[in-house]
Chains A and B, each alone.
Chain A
Amino acid sequence: MKSLDWIQLSFYFGALLAFTPLLGGWMARIYAGEKHFLQPPLGWLENLLYRYAGCNPRQEMDWWHFCKALLWFNGIGFAIVFVLQMLQSKLPFNPQSMPNLSWTLALNTAVSFVTNTDWQNYSGEATMSYLTQMLGLTVQNFLSAATGMGVLVAMARGLSRKSGHTVGNFWADTVRSILYILLPLSLVLSVVLVAQGVVQTFTPYAVAISPEGHAQQIPLGPAASQIAIAQLGTNGGGFFGVNSAHPFANPTPLTNFLEMLSILLLPSALVNTYGRLVGSTRQGWAILAAMYLLFIAGLALALWAEYQPNPLMPGLANMEGKETRIGITDSVLWATATTDASNGSVNCMHDSLSPLAGMVAMGNMMLGEVVFGGVGSGLYGMLMYVLLAVFMAGLMVGRSPEYLGKRVEKAEVICAMAATLAPFAVLLILAATAVTTSAGLSGLNNAGPHGLSEILYAYASMSNNNGSAFAGLNGNTPFYNLTGAFAMMVGRFAVIIPALAIAGSMAPKRIAPSSSGTFPTDGLLFVLMLAGVVIIISGLTHFPALTLGPIIEHLLMQQGRMF
């Protein structure tokens, strides 16, 4: 690595850490319903939205009511995206006359965007009309992000309220997330992206004739507005097939830096928001420390692996699937960040990463998307591990476990276990099905252990709602479309429902004052314990599969074996 690489890395971490408390504090004010500077210019719109929808933002909901509102909101959202794709050939804003999608692909894509996964079994520029991109996909980029943020805030309320059974109001949390956080940030980012060269237009594709006389079709579309929210909302779905490797999606090192920063911006800041909402910023910083610990450990391993020469191709840096303007360090940094956050956008092809760097990307998702994770979803996923960590600590010393002064009991531990293990179970069962059926194996692009990695990566990505891919795998088959849709549903809602249930069951519990026997959850010991619990639970589940994929591929590569 050159000194320039180290400077870029430090600048990235510096910017991220500087924005975390700033944005974190601002978001806490918004969710707590306090006054903030966007209220005078936008407050009328907020009230107008409530009035039109006929909902009362001040009416508190219990967890089940909150959950029902969320499920209706997501369910109808799914139907709209599905129908748009099935009818797009008849609808306006389709200058390239894109045909309707097959129902399995439309189903997979609709589930994918509603669940904040953004797994894509299609290439946007060759499949989707401008209308589908903006009215279907861009909208769900906002709504799925806001949904995750709402669940997190509900959990923070449940864990910190001193009495009552309610966890907040789903409508208010959703509207505020979009109006005051996601939209303003997206507006700023989109304009900067356009200034750097990201396209934003409704004109049909252009056709160029090269100096050597050959034609090239140039894809266009309203890309900047979608890419901005895709990065900020940890959606990550590409407007174009190759995502942010595409020069029209990520034209310069500046756009690369800003998009990469946007990937972790809100997931990191929301942990700070959480700390403030539960009344102790230290609680937030402790969780954040565990996240940064796991992030940096993965990044270090991936960078080391990617800079090792491939014995099969001596003397050549590993530039397959990478862009010249971005280079190796920023490709690996992005790959690590996007899989830690459940973003899933890519600026290099993960399929072509060295085996161990590919394993870090896969492993990050296999942790359950809790190292930052998705906006909201990452932290409520991590809170499941937090509950398990205090439960285990309680078992060790023989005291009944407490978190934030509230007793953690059987119901909460069962919910946390279910939320943690459901995506893992789906991942392993579906991957095992794929490697033992011809329908699964027919999608492979690589042979040998790398083929297993392609399938493992696909289900790790979908069942944890990441959305990045070892993109050689051809996923647009009924088998992958349908099993993938199932995995994404489980990965999203089998975590959301237990998370809200925990919020509901914790809300009425009494907060006991801390005593000398309380296990502090804001100290170094807890940070290490939490990171350890994440590694152990996920590691025990996934390590056997990883040894047969990337680990054995790494060892065979050292011996010069090819497939």
Chain B
Amino acid sequence: MKTFLPAVRLLLALTFLTGIVYPLLITGIAHELFPRQAGGSLLASHGRIVGSALLPEKFSSNKYFWPRPSAGDDGTNYVAVPSSASNFGPTSSNLVATAQSRLTAFKMANGLESNAPVPAEMVFASGSGLDPDISPEAARLQINRVAAARNFSQEQKRALSNLVHREIEPPQFGFLGEPRVNVLLLNLALDSIK
């Protein structure tokens, strides 16, 4: 009893401190200073939510750039609740077959030569199933397809190339992480090219 009671009381007090005061304090600070980020970086267009700037959505039309394949692909969109990965090991025949078919499909859709290199992230599913980004090269390879599907003139196609170039996010502070293009943001900007 001499140890039990202090244990219970200290546990309750620390639960109050770290389980209620602390998360509420952070939530308060977050809503004061960074309300958009704290709320999921939601993107609105014409008064409705079209997605989050940090999450990808599935695009299958040729009129849009395509994100990475996802293990959470339910056929129409990428499922975010719950997030999921394939968890295939490197010697999995499932992985090899899936990667082969994605590779062929990507080359065919984008009119690439059969021996052309394809960025690996377009062939392999991401860890989160919700990778919003692709490499700049993977975006460039899709420009012809998108331009053709939209019947773009030469001038519009140049505008598209410039847009892709503008959307490239370099490594943070010049040295952290990889250069990348956020596919949803690119596609939302794309609809504004007239």
Q: Which residues of A are interface residues toward B (Cβ below 8 A)?
A: 4, 7-8, 11, 49, 52-55, 65, 68-69, 72-73, 76-77, 80, 123, 125-127, 134-136, 138-139, 141-143, 171, 174-175, 178, 183, 186-187, 190-191, 194-203, 205-212, 214-220, 222, 224-226, 229, 240-242, 245-248, 251-254, 256-257, 310, 312-313, 315-327, 330-331, 346-349, 351-355, 358, 445-450, 453-454, 470-472, 553, 556-557, 561-563
How many interface residues does B have (CB within 8 Å)? 98
- Which residues of B109-154 are within 8 A (CB) of A? 117-118, 120-121, 123-135
Q: Which residues of B are interface residues toward A (Cβ below 8 A)?
A: 3-11, 13-15, 17-20, 22-23, 25-27, 29-31, 33-34, 37-43, 48-55, 57-61, 64, 68, 76-93, 95-96, 99, 103, 117-118, 120-121, 123-135, 171-173, 175-178, 180, 187-188, 191
Q: Are B82 and A325 in contact (CB under 8 A)?
A: no
Q: Are B10 and A171 in contact (CB under 8 A)?
A: yes
Q: Are B10 and A202 in contact (CB under 8 A)?
A: no
A76 to B92, CA, bound (A): 44
A215 to B77, CA, bound (A): 7
Q: How far is the CB of B162 from chain A (nearest CB, A)?
A: 21
Q: What residues on A are CB-neighbors of B86 within 8 Å?
A: 320-321, 349, 352, 472
Q: Are B81 and A217 in contact (CB under 8 A)?
A: yes
Known: A53-B6, A202-B27, A241-B83. A134 touches B59 (CB 8 A): no
Q: What residues on A are CB-neighbors of B50 within 8 Å?
A: 208-211
Q: Are B13 and A52 in contact (CB under 8 A)?
A: yes
A7 to B178, CA, bound (A): 13
A219 to B187, CA, bound (A): 22
Known: A138-B23, A187-B26, A211-B188; 7 extra A-B contacts, CB below 8 A, are A76-B8, A194-B34, A201-B31, A218-B51, A242-B129, A349-B86, A445-B87
Q: Are B120 and A327 in contact (CB under 8 A)?
A: no
7 tightest A-B CB contacts, nearest first: A253-B177, A472-B87, A123-B82, A245-B127, A450-B89, A253-B176, A72-B7
Q: What residues on A are CB-neighbors of B3 within 8 Å?
A: 65, 68-69, 72
The one of A136, A242, A354, A358 that contacts B85, using a Cβ cutoff of 8 Å = A242
Q: What residues on B are CB-neighbors of A8 within 8 Å?
A: 175-176
Residue of B nearest to A472 (CB): B87
5 contacts between A and B (CB under 8 A): A11-B175, A143-B14, A210-B50, A224-B38, A352-B85
Q: Are B81 and A126 in contact (CB under 8 A)?
A: yes
Q: Are A183 and B22 in contact (CB under 8 A)?
A: yes
Q: How far is the CB of B145 from chain A (nearest CB, A)?
A: 16
Q: What residues on A are CB-neighbors of B52 within 8 Å?
A: 206, 208, 218, 248
Known: A72-B7, A187-B26, A245-B127. A355 touches B87 (CB 8 A): no
Q: Are A222 and B42 in contact (CB under 8 A)?
A: no
A126 to B79, CA, bound (A): 11
Residue of B nearest to A253 (CB): B177
Q: Are A139 and B15 in contact (CB under 8 A)?
A: yes
A8 to B176, CA, bound (A): 7
Q: What residues on A are CB-neighbors of B34 within 8 Å?
A: 194-195
A12 to B20, CA, bound (A): 33
Q: What residues on B are CB-neighbors of A449 within 8 Å?
A: 91
Q: Are B27 and A326 in contact (CB under 8 A)?
A: no
Q: What residues on A are CB-neighbors of B59 within 8 Å?
A: 210-212
Q: What residues on A are CB-neighbors of B172 within 8 Å?
A: 252-254
A320 to B55, CA, bound (A): 18
Q: Are A324 and B85 in contact (CB under 8 A)?
A: no
Q: Are A247 and B91 in contact (CB under 8 A)?
A: no
Q: Are B171 and A4 in contact (CB under 8 A)?
A: yes
Q: What residues on A are CB-neighbors of B39 within 8 Å?
A: 199, 201, 203, 220
